């Protein structure tokens, strides 16, 4: 049974990127592969791209799709073992996961970090509980610590648009009024490491991510220096990791402008706040790849689902 929970589940990064780009040319090439299969997508948080692109990918592979939003529709689930369930939560994941496994062949889960308790978030209780109690493979649609569908998309987009063999890629932190997870940045860093890319991370001092993720990736606190001669600038806010989940810096000087971007391509996973994270001129200009990234979400999901389907009995 093949799960897709993190970048570590990619067994051949170059192969997957190549296959995804081939699927982009012929999206219906494997339209019969999933014709007897159903995917269930469970959302504990909002989504536009992940929901629709994963659905689209599944449909391109001939699958049926069932979607539930737990925010409003589902019973509030309990994830702790051995709890006396006399509070708000109506149903335990033990039952829910087994029940859903009977209706579906693959299960996608989106469950963001709480950003309240670092240890709890790093334990990945929601997605790991589904993995533990479901009898079908689980697809990570952004968990507490990773967003591996996004990172695969981002690499596909870079490979598509690069003009040299080893482009300079920079991940830049940007300000944001709300506390956001570290998941997107984490997975992007991991896939850059997997590719052994020419890669630099820039953020204000104190905004270091988990050292278990950044490892020996280059960190440059001076944004201007980091951005010099960049080919791709990937921008993302994350809330503080050390002072866990806090917004301790909203320095507008970190916003990405046309001037800072130079000749580089601009990348962001979306949704993005205009004129907070990045100025209008960049998003509306022809160096922005954000819409193409969102398009590539379909083909990243499609290659992942294809790999998962191929291992089903």
Q: Summarize as ranges the residues that interact with ligand CP (CB under 6 A).
A: 47-50, 142, 150, 269-271
Minimal distance, residue 272 CB to ligand AN0, in Å? 8
Q: How many CB atoms lie within 10 A of CB 32?
A: 10
Can you tell me whether residue 5 is helix, strand or coil?
A: coil
Angle at 195 between CA 194 and CA 201, to 5 degrees: 85
Query: Minimal CB distance to ligand CP: which residue?
Result: 50
Query: Minimal CB distance to ligand AN0: which residue?
Result: 180
Task: List residues near ligand AN0 by CB under 6 A.
Answer: 142, 180-181, 183-184, 269, 271
- Our CB check for ligand AN0 shows the closer of 142 and 231 to be 142
Burial 59-90 (b: 16+ CB within 10 A, else e): bbbbbebebebbeeeeeebbbeeeeeeeeeee
Measured between alpha carbons, how far is 296 from 23 in angstroms, rounded to an integer? 10
Minimal distance, residue 253 CB to ligand CP, in Å? 25
What is the bridge-based pairing of β-strands 106-110 and 77-78?
unpaired
First to last CA, the chain: 9
183 binds, among ligand AN0, ligand CP, none (CB under 5 to 8 A by kind): ligand AN0
180 binds, among ligand AN0, ligand CP, none (CB under 5 to 8 A by kind): ligand AN0
181 binds, among ligand AN0, ligand CP, none (CB under 5 to 8 A by kind): ligand AN0
Measured between alpha carbons, how far is 311 from 313 in angstroms, rounded to an integer? 6
Minimal distance, residue 116 CB to ligand AN0, in Å? 15
Minimal distance, residue 186 CB to ligand AN0, in Å? 10
- Our CB check for ligand AN0 shows the closer of 71 and 271 to be 271
What is the bridge-based pairing of β-strands 232-236 and 265-267?
parallel
Q: How many CB atoms lie within 10 A of CB 271?
A: 11
Minimal distance, residue 271 CB to ligand CP, in Å? 6
48 binds, among ligand AN0, ligand CP, none (CB under 5 to 8 A by kind): ligand CP
């Amino acid at each position: 049974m093949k799960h897709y929970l993190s970048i570590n589940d990619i067994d051949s990064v170059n192969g997957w990127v190549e296959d995804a780009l081939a699927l982009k040319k012929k999206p219906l090439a494997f339209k019969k592969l999933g014709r007897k299969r159903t995917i269930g997508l469970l959302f504990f948080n909002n989504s536009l791209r992940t929901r629709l692109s994963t659905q689209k990918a599944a449909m391109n592979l001939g699958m049926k799709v069932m979607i539930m939003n737990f925010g409003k529709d589902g019973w509030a689930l309990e994830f702790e073992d051995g709890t006396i369930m006399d509070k708000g939560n109506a149903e335990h994941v033990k039952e829910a996961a087994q029940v859903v496994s009977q209706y579906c062949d693959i299960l996608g889960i989106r469950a963001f970090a709480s950003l309240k308790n670092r240890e709890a978030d790093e334990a990945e209780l929601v997605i790991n509980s589904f993995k533990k109690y479901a009898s079908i493979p689980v697809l990570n649609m952004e968990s507490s610590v990773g967003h591996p569908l996004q990172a695969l998309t981002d690499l596909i987009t870079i490979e598509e648009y690069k003009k040299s063999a080893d482009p300079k890629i920079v991940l830049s932190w940007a300000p944001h009024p709300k506390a956001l997870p570290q998941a997107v940045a984490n997975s992007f860093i991991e896939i850059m490491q997997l590719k052994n890319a020419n890669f630099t991370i820039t953020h204000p001092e104190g905004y270091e991510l988990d050292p278990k993720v950044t490892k020996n990736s280059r960190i440059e606190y001076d944004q201007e220096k980091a951005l010099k001669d960049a080919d791709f600038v990937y921008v993302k806010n994350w809330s503080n990791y050390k002072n866990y989940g806090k917004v301790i810096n909203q320095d507008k000087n970190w916003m990405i402008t046309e001037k800072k971007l130079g000749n580089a391509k601009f990348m962001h996973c979306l949704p993005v706040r205009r004129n907070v994270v990045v100025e209008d001129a960049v998003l509306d200009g022809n160096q922005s790849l954000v819409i193409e990234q969102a398009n590539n979400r379909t083909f990243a999901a499609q290659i992942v689902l294809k790999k998962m389907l191929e291992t089903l009995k």
